Chains A and B, each alone.
Chain A
């Protein structure tokens, strides 16, 4: 599987916890911690069909209740309110783009959150003239992703460079689509009102091993609900990739 690096603005790093991923691939991935947004190289998904190769442990993944994907996300966050529906995530006029086509996948990303009313959200999610976001982490209130079942919604977020959404709660179809596609981690907060204590642009860390969300700018920590068994599915790249990785589906001709 081809692995390509794309040099984009989003200041995020994916840190693989050493206990589960002893083998750091050389040459194809670099792990850098955030300091200056301009010097970033990240391995975001470059297209829908091609996932960056993940480090595979020697033994096959074991499903134990305590295991969780060994992933941490770090970077600037974008803060939203309650009931952000999929029309705001990706307006209907862009649904002519077919997510399974690589070039249209990328275009979808460029329209992520273009449906947000500017009166409520004056900071654009994607800088005009660019096609991906500086905000790899979304902080939201209740019922995130409600409305239409369009899978274009989590796809647009993933294509734009979002790695995780941290919300109070999710609408079911959006949650299901996020896991099935593997595009974003839909993480739930333990308590309400966290989004009110964060501001767009805050530097945050989402730690899925310790189940904690840290806002470095505000100096606060919040508890996350464990992502549970949805984690390995997203980690593998979605439902089909996961089924192949665990041997549930043999390769298809």
Chain B
């Protein structure tokens, strides 16, 4: 393969996923002999140039200045030559992107793209050739600074070592955290092992968070086996954050077990402003509430990240949603996001970032902000962001010891569109079957008879969500008219239900209020019936019935039965509906 073809193949590698333009012009390569070592920023490496082509037995050379070792294909940092020669498999993290401890090592990593195909035989180990990190160029040299960047653009720029980028560009992004769970973990692990080798090591054992949460409390053998698969992998790779569960009969005796991944990520301090978080789950966008870039990916992409710590991402343009006005006491963040999705439809934000700003957003606590960002994907959005502030920093106190750097949209940033809402004029809404954008006012659905209510999931099963429901039950003082299922997202939420006093209740806990209202006992924390799951999942819809739910999707069959009818709603609306047996506006009680 000639040098020219090698480069064109590189452009193919970059141009995946329907992308049409190169991320950045590639360097001119005039001859096969030209040095293709991209120069890290601190100095130009001095290497014996043509000699490596003449001596196949010594394919490795060290820079006279820094002693770093180079090969035709990759740069290996700080590994003694003897290890390189002897190693049958170069550990992915060391080989590709430098030892974790080296400051800026990953930032300045730049593999060479060698044209010496004849040399290929000398290096037959695990080698990944990646696109070179583009060198930072001061805006003044490009002469193209006409506007600033949005938050999403800035976060991606920072994580790809670029000073500037535009929506539509494809860039290699360094990933700060990769999350997977019991449903997609086994598939991701399978791909990782198949592509990087069964003895390959993950890029960073501290940056992968494995959270079993989807199909946990079930007798389904495959589901149980899947938890075993991710446990085996976590042990084998010495994964630092694996929230294991072994005793399925009693979640409380599993001290490591957390529950729903997105809520656990937040509660355990894995969400930090300015970072990039990817997860094998579409609601990973939930973490955007912390002012970071967070989005969902599939098993194959995750397998790739597992081995390399990078992913090729396309920079999305940003839609700005300005929410101003005092939040009425009968509205919650769920109403706001359902309002927005109803406005722009389920494809209104496809490939775009959704930025939420305004006085109302600033008044929301972290859990409410999470609800807002959680459903960005239901509008097709790639990610959602809320600017971090004191509320964010306070929440993070004591949860993480890592430093983080908040990032904010520039004054002159360009947004692809802007939507403004006067929140004080909004009313409680629901999403009628069978689409999250099938918006209607709750009060207009008061004749819809319902069969059950479900309060749970990453969207509506957090502590604040249960507090909200408890407030409605407290205000009513009556009992529910339909089975009301409560599934706390995590162990922490479950404990809050049993310990935190509900304001205005004279010291009662949520659990007491729920019991007095005749709700089901709060269940074991997990994703539960939000997505149906195995047949024996608690609260799964196994017959056609009408359900008001605080979850995130109501497509046909979402909670189990294909003819089931799901009305998505806020916890206020869900509780109010449970009390009447019909879809009910919470102002009936609040």
Chain A positions within 8 Å of B, measured between CB atoms, are 49, 60-64, 83, 85, 87-88, 91-93, 95-101, 115-119, 142-143, 146-152, 169, 171-173, 175-177, 179-181, 186, 228-230, 232-233, 238-240, 242-243, 246-253
Q: Which residues of B contact A118 (CB under 8 A)?
A: 562
Query: Are A93 and B533 interface neighbours, CB within 8 A?
Result: yes
Chain B 326-348, CB-CB to A under 8 Å as 1, else 0, gives 00000000000000000000110
Q: Please report the C-alpha to C-alpha distance between residue A250 and residue B128 in the assembled complex, in whole angstroms.
A: 7
Given A93-B535, A243-B13: A151 and B298 interface contact (C-beta under 8 Å): yes
Q: Which residues of B contact A93 (CB under 8 A)?
A: 532-535, 560
Query: Are B1 and A250 interface neighbours, CB within 8 A?
Result: no
Query: Are B1 and A60 interface neighbours, CB within 8 A?
Result: yes
B413 CB–A CB distance under 8 Å: no
Query: Are B184 and A248 interface neighbours, CB within 8 A?
Result: no
B306 CB–A CB distance under 8 Å: no
Q: Which residues of A contact B120 (CB under 8 A)?
A: 247, 250
Given contacts A175-B18, A253-B199, 13 further A-B contacts (CB under 8 A): A61-B9, A63-B12, A83-B435, A85-B555, A87-B532, A92-B532, A98-B187, A98-B190, A99-B187, A169-B350, A228-B15, A228-B18, A229-B20
Query: Which residues, 14 to 43 on B, are CB-close (under 8 Å) to A?
Result: 15-20
Closest beta carbon of chain A to B179's beta carbon, Å:
12
Residue of B nearest to A118 (CB): B562
Given A100-B194, A148-B282: A143 and B300 interface contact (C-beta under 8 Å): no
B183 CB–A CB distance under 8 Å: yes
Given A93-B534, A179-B18: A143 and B190 interface contact (C-beta under 8 Å): no
**Which of B125, B187, B380 is A151 in contact with, Cβ under 8 Å?**
B187
Given A99-B187, A151-B187: A181 and B9 interface contact (C-beta under 8 Å): no
Report which residue of A97, A152, A253 has the largest number of chain B beta carbons within 10 angstroms of its beta carbon. A253
Dominant secondary structure of chain B at its interface with chain A: loop
Q: Please report the C-alpha to C-alpha distance between residue A211 and residue B395 in the assembled complex, in whole angstroms.
A: 53
Closest beta carbon of chain A to B183's beta carbon, Å:
5
Q: Which residues of B contact A250 (CB under 8 A)?
A: 73, 120, 123-127, 129
Dominant secondary structure of chain A at its interface with chain B: loop
Given A173-B298, A243-B13: A252 and B196 interface contact (C-beta under 8 Å): yes
* B220-228, B266-274, B474-482 - the one binding chain A: B220-228
Query: Are A63 and B126 interface neighbours, CB within 8 A?
Result: no
Q: Which residues of A contact B125 (CB under 8 A)?
A: 250, 253
Query: Are A100 and B350 interface neighbours, CB within 8 A?
Result: no
Query: Are B220 and A180 interface neighbours, CB within 8 A?
Result: no
Q: Which residues of B contact A229 (CB under 8 A)?
A: 12, 15-16, 18-20
Query: Are B8 and A62 interface neighbours, CB within 8 A?
Result: yes
Closest beta carbon of chain B to A41's beta carbon, Å:
28
Q: Please report the C-alpha to C-alpha distance between residue A97 and residue B125 in the assembled complex, in whole angstroms.
A: 32
B10 CB–A CB distance under 8 Å: yes
Q: Please report the C-alpha to C-alpha distance between residue A85 and residue B435 in the assembled complex, in whole angstroms.
A: 10
Q: Which residues of B contact A63 (CB under 8 A)?
A: 8-9, 11-12, 15
Given A99-B187, A146-B380: A115 and B557 interface contact (C-beta under 8 Å): yes
Residue of A nearest to B11 (CB): A63
Query: Are B304 and A240 interface neighbours, CB within 8 A?
Result: yes
B553 CB–A CB distance under 8 Å: yes
Closest beta carbon of chain A to B318's beta carbon, Å:
15
**Which of A88, A230, A249, A253 is B16 in contact with, Cβ under 8 Å?**
A230
B466 CB–A CB distance under 8 Å: no
**Which of B6, B15, B124, B280 is A149 in contact with, Cβ under 8 Å?**
B280
Given A96-B223, A151-B187, A253-B126: A172 and B382 interface contact (C-beta under 8 Å): yes
Query: Are B557 and A151 interface neighbours, CB within 8 A?
Result: no
B417 CB–A CB distance under 8 Å: no
Residue of A nearest to B89 (CB): A253
> Lowest 10 A-B CB distances belong to which pairs?
A100-B190, A151-B298, A229-B15, A246-B9, A96-B222, A177-B298, A180-B300, A149-B296, A149-B282, A92-B531
Query: Are B89 and A85 interface neighbours, CB within 8 A?
Result: no
Given A97-B222, A250-B127: A92 and B533 interface contact (C-beta under 8 Å): yes
Query: Are A179 and B186 interface neighbours, CB within 8 A?
Result: no
